[in-house]
Amino acid sequence: MPQWPSLPFIPYPPSKAGYWSPVTSTLNWCEEDYYATIYSAEIINTVTNLLFMWLGIKGIRSCRRNGHDSIFEVAYYGYLLVGTGSFLFHSTLKYPMQLVDELSMIYTTCLMCYASFSYSRPTGVRIFLAIALTSLAVFITLYYHYLQDPVFHQNAYALLTTVVVLRSMFTMEITLRPKWRQTTEEDRLARQKQGLTVPSKEHQHYENVRDTKILKTMWFMVVYGLSMFLGGFFIWNLDNHFCTEIRGWRRVVGLPWGIFLEGHGWWHVMTGIGAYLYIIWGIWLRHSLNNRQDEYYLWWPHFWNFPEIIRLDPSGKNKNGLAKKAS
């Protein structure tokens, strides 16, 4: 047992039967059950979901206030449902609440998949994609309920998330990287002959500089978000593999210090931030696809702030009357 520095602490209370007993979920995490209150099976795993719930409401309000596409408002409702489902699951450790928690993750990722792959597609393709993704979500729901194997859910979620993120990365590069859309003199002449609008060289240079700057910030957001996801996953796996030792350490250091050794709670915090960043990225990318970069800007003064895509008024100022910041 490691020697911890002598700090004032409160001894951990013993676990006891809770209001929601018995446990019926197929998963039970490393946090001890009902040690803090009889009304919450895993108090830290429960309250860390408040971040999800707050950011979900923040995102919904931002979509309405700034006129973002409705698919992202729906995605934020899904994000809010994930946090609410996880809150109820860790409070009760009941199987129905476990399904709400885990399956809402699948449904929200399917929504983001639709947002990524349906853009600018013909109506028939969008309908087919909607039916295909709905069918996939139903299949995962029924098969997971039949198997009751968390590994199946985790693999399905990881695969869907990987597909969506890689697709968004590809779209981002093709849309914003100047070298992929560089207009040669031959292209300019061909567009003129067809009666199409040809941007001046000065305007093209402005767009190249603007979009290169946006692209750089987007890549930072992607790396930051993925780092939060993977870091949270790593900490959670330490929790899974060394649970006996970690529980012992918690009881040595006592409360409140043992809170910082709750690996699954860190998973909630870090994935909550990562998922929020992904939706923000998706919103900004959609405005870029619509060639509306000059109508919106990213408010993100420091990396520890929660960013927001804000619409400018026609004068080029934000809702507080301040001039647009550089993206």
* CA 252 to chain centroid: 35
Residue with tokens 């008024």: 313
Which residues is 40 bridged to in the sheet?
37
Round the CA-based radius of gyration of the chain to a whole number and report it.
23
Task: Determine the pLDDT at residue 205.
Answer: 84
Q: Which two tokens stand for residue 144?
A: 């997971």
Task: Determine the pLDDT at residue 321.
Answer: 46
* Separation between Cα atoms, residue 326 and residue 217, nearest integer Å: 11
Do the beta carbons of residue 259 and residue 44 sit within 8 Å? yes
Query: Kind and range of the H or E element at 297?
Result: strand 296-299
Angle at which helix 95-118 crosses helix 123-147, to 10 degrees, equals 160
Asked if the model's pLDDT at residue 181 lies above 70, the reply is no
DSSP string, 243-269: HHHHHHHHHHH-BTGGGGG-HHHHHHH
Asked if the model's pLDDT at residue 16 lies above 70, the reply is yes
Asked if the model's pLDDT at residue 125 lies above 60, the reply is yes
Q: Determine which of 24-28, 137-141, 317-321 has the lowest per-residue pLDDT on average.
A: 317-321
Q: Which two tokens stand for residue 142?
A: 């029924």
42 is in an annotated binding site: yes
Task: Determine the pLDDT at residue 283.
Answer: 96
Asked if the model's pLDDT at residue 225 lies above 60, the reply is yes
For the full predicted model, state whether its pTM sits above 0.85.
yes
Q: Across residues 158-183, what is the average pLDDT?
A: 88
Mean pLDDT of the chain: 89
Asked if the model's pLDDT at residue 155 lies above 50, the reply is yes
N- to C-terminal Cα distance for the chain? 50
Is the pLDDT higher at 322 or at 295?
295
Asked if the peptide bond before residue 22 counts as cis, ω within 30 degrees of 0, the response is: yes
Model confidence band, residue 322 (pLDDT cutoffs 50, 70, 90): very low
Task: Determine the pLDDT at residue 5.
Answer: 57
Query: Kind and range of the H or E element at 17?
Result: none
**How does DSSP classify residue 296?**
E
Q: Which two tokens stand for residue 311?
A: 């619409």
3-state SS class at 195: coil
Task: Determine the pLDDT at residue 320.
Answer: 47
Cα dist. 126→75, 121, 122, 169 in Å?
Answer: 17, 6, 6, 21
Task: Determine the pLDDT at residue 33.
Answer: 94
Task: Determine the pLDDT at residue 194.
Answer: 64
pLDDT digits (tens, 9 = 90+) for 74-122: 999 999 999 999 999 999 999 999 999 999 999 999 999 998 999 889 9
Model confidence band, residue 8 (pLDDT cutoffs 50, 70, 90): confident
* Separation between Cα atoms, residue 44 and residue 260, nearest integer Å: 10
205 is in an annotated binding site: no
* Separation between Cα atoms, residue 1 and residue 279, nearest integer Å: 43
Which of 16-20, 176-180, 296-300 is predicted most confidently? 296-300
Q: Identify the architecture of domain 43-179+203-311 in CATH.
A: Up-down Bundle (1.20)
Asked if the model's pLDDT at residue 195 lies above 90, the reply is no
Do the beta carbons of residue 79 and residue 275 sit within 8 Å? yes
Q: Across residues 206-218, what is the average pLDDT?
A: 93
Q: Which two tokens stand for residue 67?
A: 């006129």
